[in-house]
A = this chain, B = another copy of it.
Amino acid sequence: MRATVMYGAGDVRVENVPDPIVKEPTDAIVRVTRACICGSDLWPYQSMPHKDGGRRMGHEFIGVVEDVGSDVSGLQRGDVVVAPFVWADNTCDFCREGLQTSCRHGGGWGAPGVDAGQGEAVRVPQAQGTLVKLPVAEDAALMPSLLTLSDVFCTGHHGVVTAGVGPGSSVTVIGDGAVGLCAVLAAKRLGAEQIILNGRHKVRTDLGREFGATDVVAERGDEAVAKIRELTGGDGTHAVIECVGTEPSVATALEAVRAGGRVSRLGVSQYTQVPMGFGTFFRNVTLTGGVAPARAYIEELMPDVLDGTIEPGRVFDRTIGLDETPDGYRAMADREALKVLIEP
């Protein structure tokens, strides 16, 4: 089959790789019908050292079950399924606590010996725990929004949940990428009253307004903090969702949050330290969030997608075939495209 392999920064190829087969009794084979490129894929796209043999890419996909191992129940050939962006048994203590990203028997797509989402098919380990059936046909119009349950909308939701967003909350979302926009939508869905989107790309912030942003702040750093404070009577917002992953972005988040408030970080950390000295100590600022256990949220969020209450799939602004994937990476890295959907 064909699959996407990254060999280093800027070097993404679609190549022939072995067809997946059931290796473990807990495996399933899924033919991928929709996949996409994640903002987090751009970090290695910009910086990965050359790797012989490359690294299989993609951790968001929907597909159709082709085969299941003998220990897999509840799934059968022909089921349309969505995969969260890590695989997990969904039964261990971490999974039961809703932290499938720390599953004792789980792991990441594209790890050695494991397929990844940007390809024609995937061997899914721990398939029974990992995959969630979708009650729709494989060509349903809702596919883009359902695909966001694999990662990006669940990630936005994780941010607002861990930041304690609820009815009446004020929220700042830092970053107008797909995760940031999904965080806006998730905050709106949970009843946030004021949602300040910090971003400077008008097409994106316009979509952010449609998703529920009440204010847009285009500045960065101290100027952004000043604007956010101005919009909140000097206090900052109860919650800040950090959707970039750089140290300046985290610093802005920690300054923009109200005393007693929470900063949730969703952007994959490209830093090793965060500036949490006496100022944040005295203001009782909490830093929370992290990699989102999408699996924990899929069932809860799916009904709102199915009935059209929310349309997170609007973050996709380009659809390509599998062979065009390298250009999809380039388009996202060049900010030509917000988020690219792949139809293998």
Binding site for B on A (CB under 8 A): 94, 97, 99, 101-102, 162, 259-260, 265, 268-269, 271-278, 280-291, 293
Q: Which residues of B contact A268 (CB under 8 A)?
A: 278, 281
The answer to whether B162 and A260 touch across the interface, beta carbons within 8 angstroms, is no
User: Closest approach, in angstroms, between the C-beta of A215 and any C-beta of chain B?
Assistant: 21
User: Could you show 20 A-B contacts with beta carbons less than 8 Å apart?
Assistant: A94-B259, A102-B283, A162-B286, A265-B281, A268-B278, A269-B278, A273-B276, A273-B277, A274-B274, A276-B287, A280-B290, A281-B291, A284-B289, A284-B290, A284-B293, A286-B286, A286-B287, A287-B287, A287-B288, A288-B288
The answer to whether B273 and A101 touch across the interface, beta carbons within 8 angstroms, is no
User: Closest approach, in angstroms, between the C-beta of A313 and any C-beta of chain B?
Assistant: 26
User: Closest approach, in angstroms, between the C-beta of A89 and any C-beta of chain B?
Assistant: 15
A304 to B272, CA, bound (A): 43
**A290 contact from B271, B272, B283, B290, Cβ within 8 A:** B283
Q: Which residues of B contact A273 (CB under 8 A)?
A: 273-277
**Chain B: CB-nearest residue to A280:** B290
Q: Which residues of B contact A97 (CB under 8 A)?
A: 260
Instruction: Give the copy number.
Output: 2
Q: Which residues of B contact A290 (CB under 8 A)?
A: 280-285
Q: Which residues of B contact A280 (CB under 8 A)?
A: 290
User: Closest approach, in angstroms, between the C-beta of A36 and any C-beta of chain B?
Assistant: 21
Starting from the known contacts A269-B277, A273-B274, 10 additional A-B residue pairs (CB-CB under 8 Å) come to: A94-B259, A97-B260, A99-B259, A102-B259, A162-B286, A273-B276, A281-B290, A284-B290, A284-B291, A288-B288
Q: Which residues of B contact A277 (CB under 8 A)?
A: 269, 271-273
A259 to B283, CA, bound (A): 25
Q: Which residues of B contact A284 (CB under 8 A)?
A: 99, 101-102, 162, 288-291, 293
A284 to B102, CA, bound (A): 9
Q: Which residues of B contact A293 (CB under 8 A)?
A: 284
User: Closest approach, in angstroms, between the C-beta of A39 and any C-beta of chain B?
Assistant: 15
A280 to B273, CA, bound (A): 11
A51 to B19, CA, bound (A): 75
**Chain B: CB-nearest residue to A275:** B273
A285 to B289, CA, bound (A): 7
Q: Which residues of B contact A278 (CB under 8 A)?
A: 268-269, 272
User: Closest approach, in angstroms, between the C-beta of A1 and any C-beta of chain B?
Assistant: 30
User: Closest approach, in angstroms, between the C-beta of A72 and any C-beta of chain B?
Assistant: 26
A208 to B289, CA, bound (A): 32
User: Closest approach, in angstroms, between the C-beta of A230 and any C-beta of chain B?
Assistant: 18
**Chain B: CB-nearest residue to A282:** B291
Q: Give the residue among A281, A285, A293 with the most B Cβ atoms within 10 A.
A: A281
The answer to whether A101 and B282 touch across the interface, beta carbons within 8 angstroms, is yes
A291 to B278, CA, bound (A): 9
A276 to B273, CA, bound (A): 5
User: Closest approach, in angstroms, between the C-beta of A121 and any C-beta of chain B?
Assistant: 27
A259 to B93, CA, bound (A): 11
User: Closest approach, in angstroms, between the C-beta of A284 and any C-beta of chain B?
Assistant: 4
**Chain B: CB-nearest residue to A97:** B260
Q: Which residues of B contact A271 (CB under 8 A)?
A: 277
